């Protein structure tokens, strides 16, 4: 069964590219992608995946 992929923006505040690049497929599956980019003049990441990242994914120790 194929999931519909969605795109969303994540500011890079405190998130190193190497960290998000290494972990994205663990949290969102093998089809997930991360691309560096800008949104409204702010740098960050464009994420493509079947669901959104949650705070628990990004900050598991909270």
* pLDDT tens digits, 17-61: 898 888 898 889 999 999 999 999 999 999 999 988 776 676 666
Q: List the Cα angle 42/51/6 in 5-degree steps.
A: 60
Mean pLDDT is lowest, of 3-7, 11-15, 55-59, for: 55-59
Nearest to 24 by CA among 53, 55, 62, 56: 53
Q: What's the full length of the chain, in residues? A: 62
- The torsion angles phi and psi of 19, rounded to 5 degrees, stand at -70, -50
Say whether pLDDT at 1 is over 50. Answer: no
The overall pTM is greater than 0.85:
no
Place of tokens 């923006």: 9
């Amino acid at each position: 069964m194929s999931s519909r992929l969605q795109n969303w923006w994540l500011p890079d505040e405190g998130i190193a590219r190497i960290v998000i690049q290494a972990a994205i497929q663990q949290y969102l599956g093998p089809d997930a992608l991360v691309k560096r980019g800008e949104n409204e003049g702010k740098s960050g990441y464009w994420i493509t995946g079947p669901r959104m990242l949650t705070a628990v994914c990004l900050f598991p120790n909270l």
